[in-house]
Amino acid sequence: MEITKEIQKLMLERMWTIRTFEEKVMEVHEAGEFVGAAHPYIGEEAVAVGVCLALKDTDYIAGNHRSHGHPLAKGGSIKKAMAEIYGRVDGYCNGKGGSMHLADFSVGILGESGIVASSVPVATGAGLASKIGKKDFVSVVFFGDGASNQGACHESMNLASIWKLPVIFVCENNQFAITTSYQNSVAVDNVSDRAQAYNMPGILVDGQNVEAMYEATTEAVKRARNGEGPTLIEGLTYRFEEHSLGLGRVRRGEYRTEEEINKWRDRDPILIHSKKLIDRGILSEEECKEIESNSYSETDEAVEFARNSSFPEPSDLYEDMWANPIPKP
Amino acid sequence: MAEKIFAEAINEAIAEEMRRDSSVFIMGEDIRLSVYGATANLYKEFGEERVLDTPLSENGFFGAAIGASLVGMRPIVETVTSFMWVAMDQLISQAAKMRYMFGGQATLPVVYRASMMYGSGSAAHHSDRPYPMFMNMPGIKIAVPANSTDAKGLLKTAVRDDDPVIIFEDANLYGTRSEILEDEIPFGKAEIVKSGTDCTIVGIAASVNLSLDVANNLEKEGISCEVINPRTLVPLDKETILKSVEKTGRLVIVDPAHKVCSAASEISSIVAEEGFWDLQSPIIKVASEQVHIPYAPSLEKLVYPNIEKVSKAVKKTLE
């Protein structure tokens, strides 16, 4: 499959955007600049970017708790994303959502969910609306290996299949539900095997290869738009960092080895893709470096934007509750 | 206007809304053949795409309704209260929280019609009246129709409202017949069903009729009761209740839900906080016993509010 040079370059840019964003989030969390948890997406960037670049602006995506990467992959504002994590009024959600609900509805996001697998039925419903309303859009949901054990996931795949909905189920198999290995918690060898039970294609893809993710998604989108129904794509990837920032009690050696982590770090999706672009003569090493340093600058600007934005006022507490407001009890 | 059976009133509201707005569709279990009585002929008129029989996957299709509503549709979901438990994650984590959590970006015009089949030997798993649990959770509007007018008018308003709504339909009313007096009923506006001066009785769902029966009986004994039908619990028209208590000085709340943290509890606490100096006697809640619904008729009949319990409560406020 031919992938345009522009897309190949954009893949690198978006992966760097996510990487530098997440590195910064870790740094400022360590410095105590925002409250609560945050779940770094480092190592998994190729999944979100490969999938989102195969979509149109009018297509929808829904995410999960580890979802900083999804709005950024779909082209959401970096500044607003950072401001939301800082809990400021200029964030996507006016400071009401935070890290686990980093939704930018302006780029077709249906929300991220702190409850594992909870977005899966929601995204399936967007697919249903596309079908009933005879629209052209497809709906994608990102979920993990852990979520693939939830009933919500199975119910949704069954619904999408019997109704032939334009839904793409993207399992980001990062191999751990916090500390529980998918090998000890998923009854089949691969999450994609589960597609068989729902009579849909189940595709296992190298989740460190952004182009492979893009190609698999492009194929699934084509099926979806043709009315051929849903697809399950499993991107086999790896969580380079710990489950959540601030979850200090868990030590790596207790559930995975440094050796294993290093083995996967060698398969860094950004390194893999950069090398390809250089080998193909699409970008020089310097140009790759420039993309990297531009990303760092943009992230720094986003942090400045977030720091300079205000916290919501007490008068904002009751705002955003209702579309058709009702009196406060 | 003509008299209508409660279930027909619901059916009429759905059909009218589906004719008016092509984004309205309905889904649920066995609705094409109208197993629960309120969806007759919809399949025939609107076809398979807008009248969806679902698999037994409440968490899946309750959530699918949310997703569809987010992108421009207006789904109506038919269910039975007891099946809501398996879909609680979607109702709470998504329907109730989404708009606020996303800073107002999400708009979810989704309606859940939940039938409460209690008092008919259905035992513990099929007799739930869980609206108070949803009152405790911000983000969902709650309607409790008490007659055919309410059934039609509240449903039409619910479909047109841009927020998630659960309509708790009292299945004891499904076969009852009453006149359709209004076409659309605004949320948050209680109805004074009967005016009176000695004691206010607030009834929830079918308990409105029960309260009215008690009021009519007591009238013969010279006791004048004012009966209020709140129609919606979220929003709750507390002004109408407080104003009534200001006049009568006494309050009995009749609620088929379990007594602890019931709708009656909430109404009682509002009046205690905001209408205390108008009260001439303690507020009395007549709600269901704090046990699960037993199967044996001899036990089940002990659980819910009835004429004797409500009459006794009213008389006690007058002692």
Flag whether pLDDT at A235 surpasses 70.
yes
The residues in B 250-279 lying below 8 A from A, measured between CB atoms, are 270
pLDDT attached to residue A204: 98
pLDDT attached to residue A1: 86
Chain-chain contact of A323 with B64 (C-beta, under 8 angstroms): no
Residue A267 C-alpha, separation from nearest chain B C-alpha, in angstroms? 35
Flag whether pLDDT at B275 surpasses 70.
yes
pLDDT attached to residue A230: 98
Chain-chain contact of A95 with B103 (C-beta, under 8 angstroms): yes
Q: Phi and psi of A20, rounded to 5°?
A: -70, -35
Chain-chain contact of B90 with A152 (C-beta, under 8 angstroms): yes
Q: How many CB atoms lie within 10 A of CB A23?
A: 16
Contacts of B301 (CB under 8 A, 6+ apart): none
Least confident of A246-250, B63-67, B268-272: A246-250
pLDDT attached to residue B184: 84
Flag whether pLDDT at A248 surpasses 80.
no
3-state secondary structure A241-309: CCCCCCCCCCCHHHCCCHHHHHHHHCCCHHHHHHHHHHHCCCCCHHHHHHHHHHHHHHHHHHHHHHHHC
pLDDT attached to residue A6: 97
pLDDT per position as a tens digit, B155-201: 999 999 999 999 999 999 999 999 888 788 999 999 999 999 999 99
B138 at A interface, C-beta within 8 A:
yes
> Which architecture, in CATH terms, is B3-179?
3-Layer(aba) Sandwich (3.40)
Interface test with B, best of A128, A138, A141, A154 (most B CBs within 10 A): A128
Which residue's entry shows tokens 């959770």? B137
Across the interface, of A93, A130, A156, the residue whose CB is closest to B102 is: A93
Element spanning A235, H or E: strand A231-236
The average pLDDT across B42-69 equals: 97
The residues in A 123-182 lying below 8 A from B, measured between CB atoms, are 123-133, 137, 139, 151-152, 155-156, 158-159, 162-163
The residues in B 6-65 lying below 8 A from A, measured between CB atoms, are 23, 25, 49-50, 52, 54-55, 57, 59-65
Of B210, B179, B139, nearest to B9 (Cα)? B179
* Residue B288 and residue B129 in contact, taking contact as beta carbons nearer than 8 Å: yes
Omega into B109 within 30° of 0, i.e. cis? Answer: no
Cα distance between residue B306 and residue A119, in whole Å: 43
Active site residues of B: 126
pLDDT per position as a tens digit, B108-158: 999 999 999 999 999 999 999 999 999 999 999 999 999 999 999 999 999
Could you tell me what percent of chain B has a pLDDT over 70? 100
pLDDT band at A249, cuts 50/70/90? low
pLDDT attached to residue A250: 66
**CATH number, domain B191-317, options 3.30.70.3280, 3.40.50.920, 1.10.600.10, 3.40.50.150:** 3.40.50.920
Burial (Cβ within 10 Å: 0-12, 13-18, ≥19) of residue B242: middle
Flag whether pLDDT at B104 surpasses 80.
yes
Cα distance between residue B174 and residue B151, in whole Å: 10
pLDDT band at B1, cuts 50/70/90? low
**B3-179 and B191-317 in the same fold:** yes
Q: How many CB atoms lie within 10 A of CB A58?
A: 11
pLDDT per position as a tens digit, A118-173: 999 999 999 999 999 999 999 999 999 999 999 999 999 999 999 999 999 999 99
Chain-chain contact of B101 with A111 (C-beta, under 8 angstroms): yes
The pair of three-digit structure tokens given for residue A56, joined into one six-digit string: 């149109």
Query: Taking all residues of chain B, what is their mean pLDDT, rounded to a whole number?
Result: 97
The average pLDDT across B61-82 equals: 98
Chain-chain contact of B57 with A155 (C-beta, under 8 angstroms): yes
Cα distance between residue B51 and residue B58, in whole Å: 16
Chain-chain contact of B109 with A155 (C-beta, under 8 angstroms): no
Burial (Cβ within 10 Å: 0-12, 13-18, ≥19) of residue A314: exposed
Cα distance between residue A110 and residue B73, in whole Å: 14
Flag whether pLDDT at A273 surpasses 90.
yes
Chain-chain contact of A111 with B89 (C-beta, under 8 angstroms): no
A85 at B interface, C-beta within 8 A:
no
Q: What domains are there in chain A, each with its CATH number? A: 5-309 (3.40.50.970)
pLDDT per position as a tens digit, A32-47: 999 888 999 999 999 9
Residues in chain A closer than 8 A to B235 (CB atoms): 326-327
Chain-chain contact of A156 with B93 (C-beta, under 8 angstroms): no
- Domain spans of chain B? 3-179, 191-317
Could you tell me what percent of chain A has a pLDDT over 90? 93
User: 3-state class of A83 per DSSP?
Assistant: helix
pLDDT attached to residue B270: 98
Flag whether pLDDT at A251 surpasses 80.
no
Across the interface, of B52, B71, B106, the residue whose CB is closest to A60 is: B71
pLDDT per position as a tens digit, A276-329: 999 999 999 999 999 999 999 999 999 999 999 999 999 999 999 999 999 999
B184 at A interface, C-beta within 8 A:
no
pLDDT attached to residue B319: 93
